[in-house]
C-alpha cells in the first residue's frame, strides 16, 4: 500500500506540470506582447488557432516539429493581424483583442467541424506524434524518489516551454533588443526620439509572443489526445494566462512559479479525490471540498496578488507604463 501512496503523490506532481504547461506558454507569450506596450486580450483565440492548425498539419506531416512550427506560425499570423489593426490602424487594443478571441474560436470550430465531417486525424494513428509527445525522463534527476518522476520526466514540449520562459527572461533583461523593447513599452515617445523603430519593435514582438501562445494551444490539443468535440481544447486557459501575467509581475521566470501555483489548485480539482483516498487521515477532507472552490481559487489568488502588487510601490512593478496605449508620433 505504501508504494501506491507514493504513486498518487508522484502522479499528482506530474499532473501539475503536464496539465498546466500551456498556461506557461500563454503567459510568457502575453508577457512578450505586453512588454511592447500592447494589451492583447485575444490569448484564448490565438491559442485555439495555433492548436487547430498545429494539430492538423502536425498529424498530416506525422511530425511533432512541423506541428510546433505551424502552431507558432498560426499564432504569429494572428499576432500580425492584431498588430496591423492596433499599431498601423490605431484600433482600440481591448476591443481588437476581444474580437480576436471570438475570431480565433470561430476559426477553430470552422476548421475542426469541417474536417470532422471529412475524416478527423486521430492522434493514435501517427506514431511520430505519439512518440514525440511521450515522456523523456531526465537521467539521474528523474530517479529522485517521490518527486523525480513527477518533476523530471516529461514530454519535449514541457522542457521547451520552460526553456522558452528562461530565454525570454534573459532576452528582456540581459540583451540590447530587450532593453529597446522595454523602452517601447514604457515610453514609446522616448524610444522613438532616440531612433528606435517603434512600429517594427511592436510588430516583431506581438508576432513572437502570439507565436509562443500558439505552441501552447498545440500542446493542449495533444494533451487531449486530439479528440475534437463540442468544447474547445483551450477551455479558458487563455484567460487565466492573461491574469497570470499580472501574477508574474511581467517576469517570464516568475511565470513558471505562477503556472505551478495555479496548476496546483487546478490539479487539486481534478485529482483531489484520489489524494483524499490515498491519505484519508490527513487529506480526507479534500474529498468534501466542492470542485467549484478549486476553480475559483486561482482567481482568488490573482485578486490577492493584484491587491498586494498595488500596495507595492509603483517602481517595483513590471507593468509597462504605456500598456494599452496606441502610439502615434504626431499626436499632440
Q: What element of type H or E holds 33? A: helix 2-35
315 scored as a contact of another protein (CB under 8 A): yes
The sign of the dihedral angle between the CA atoms of 288, 290, 293, 295 is positive
Count of chain residues binding another protein (CB under 8 A): 26
Which of these ranges, 167-175, 202-210, 266-274, 292-300, lies near another protein under the rule CB under 8 A?
167-175
Degrees, nearest 5: CA angle 228-232-237: 135
- Of 50, 76, 26, give the one whose Cα is nearest residue 221: 50
The single residue listed with the C-alpha cell 500580425 is: 80
* 17 near another protein (CB under 8 A): no
Lookup result for grid cell 500596495: 311
Whether 40 and 97 have beta carbons less than 8 Å apart is answered as yes
The least CB distance from residue 205 to another protein, in Å, is 15
25 with 215: CB under 8 angstroms? yes
Is residue 174 involved in binding another protein (CB under 8 A)?
yes
| Region binding another protein by CB under 8 A among candidate stretches 74-82, 123-131, 169-177, 208-216 | 169-177
Q: Which of 104, 178, 209, 258 binds another protein (CB under 8 A)?
A: 178
- Which residue, 182 or 269, is less far from another protein as judged by CB? 182
Is residue 3 a contact residue for another protein (CB under 8 A)?
Answer: no
Per-residue contact string for residues 100-129; x = within reach of another protein by CB under 8 A: ------------------------------
- Minimum distance of another protein from residue 194's CB (angstroms): 3
Residues 180-239 that bind another protein (CB under 8 A): 180, 182-183, 186-187, 189-197
Are residues 74 and 53 in contact, defined by beta-carbon separation less than 8 angstroms?
Answer: yes
Interface pick for another protein out of 179, 224, 277, 289 (rule CB under 8 A): 179
Report if residue 329 touches another protein, rule: CB under 8 A. yes
From the list 122, 12, 43, 200, the residue with the least C-alpha distance to 192 is 200
- Between residues 71 and 196, which has the closer beta carbon with respect to another protein? 196
Residue 136, classed as helix, strand or coil, is strand
Cell 512518440 -> residue? 131
Please check whether residue 53 is in contact with residue 111, taking contact to mean a CB–CB distance below 8 angstroms. yes
Q: Does 311 bind another protein (CB under 8 A)?
A: no
Collapsing DSSP states into helix, strand and coil, what is residue 154?
strand
Contact between 88 and another protein per CB under 8 A? no
Label the pairing between strands 153-154 and 136-137: antiparallel
Instruction: CB nearer to another protein: give 176 or 231.
Output: 176
Binding to another protein by residue 31, rule CB under 8 A? Answer: no
Asked if 310 is part of the footprint of another protein (rule: CB under 8 A), the reply reads: no
Q: Residues in the site for another protein, rule: CB under 8 A?
A: 173-180, 182-183, 186-187, 189-197, 315, 321, 329-330, 332
Amino acid at each position: 500500500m505504501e508504494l501506491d501512496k507514493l504513486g498518487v503523490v508522484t502522479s499528482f506532481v506530474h499532473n501539475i506540470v503536464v496539465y498546466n504547461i500551456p498556461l506557461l506558454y500563454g503567459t510568457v507569450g502575453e508577457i512578450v506582447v505586453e512588454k511592447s506596450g500592447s494589451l492583447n486580450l485575444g490569448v484564448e483565440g490565438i491559442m485555439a488557432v495555433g492548436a487547430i492548425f498545429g494539430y492538423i498539419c502536425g498529424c498530416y506531416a506525422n511530425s511533432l516539429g512541423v506541428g510546433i512550427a505551424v502552431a507558432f506560425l498560426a499564432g504569429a499570423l494572428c499576432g500580425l493581424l492584431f498588430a496591423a489593426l492596433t499599431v498601423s490602424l490605431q484600433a482600440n487594443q481591448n476591443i481588437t483583442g476581444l474580437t480576436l478571441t471570438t475570431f480565433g474560436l470561430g476559426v477553430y470550430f470552422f476548421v475542426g467541424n469541417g474536417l470532422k465531417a471529412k475524416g478527423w486525424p486521430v492522434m493514435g494513428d501517427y506514431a511520430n506524434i505519439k512518440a514525440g509527445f511521450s515522456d523523456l525522463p531526465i537521467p539521474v534527476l528523474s530517479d529522485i524518489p517521490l518527486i523525480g518522476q513527477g518533476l523530471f520526466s516529461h514530454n519535449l514540449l514541457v522542457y521547451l516551454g520552460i526553456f522558452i520562459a528562461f530565454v525570454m527572461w534573459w532576452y528582456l533583461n540581459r540583451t540590447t533588443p530587450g532593453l529597446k523593447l522595454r523602452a517601447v513599452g514604457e515610453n514609446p515617445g522616448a524610444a522613438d526620439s532616440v531612433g528606435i523603430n517603434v512600429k517594427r519593435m511592436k510588430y516583431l514582438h506581438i508576432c513572437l509572443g502570439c507565436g509562443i501562445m500558439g505552441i501552447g494551444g498545440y500542446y493542449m490539443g495533444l494533451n487531449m489526445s486530439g479528440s475534437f468535440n463540442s468544447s474547445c481544447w483551450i477551455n479558458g486557459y487563455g484567460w487565466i494566462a492573461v491574469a497570470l501575467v499580472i501574477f508574474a509581475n511581467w517576469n517570464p521566470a516568475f511565470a513558471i512559479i505562477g503556472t505551478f501555483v495555479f496548476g496546483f489548485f487546478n490539479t487539486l480539482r481534478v485529482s483531489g479525490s484520489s489524494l483524499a483516498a490515498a491519505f484519508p487521515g490527513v487529506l480526507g477532507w479534500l474529498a468534501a471540498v466542492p470542485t467549484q472552490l478549486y476553480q475559483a481559487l486561482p482567481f482568488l489568488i490573482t485578486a490577492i496578488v493584484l491587491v498586494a502588487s498595488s500596495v507595492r510601490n509603483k517602481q517595483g512593478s513590471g507593468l509597462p507604463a504605456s500598456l494599452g496605449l496606441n502610439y502615434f508620433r504626431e499626436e499632440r
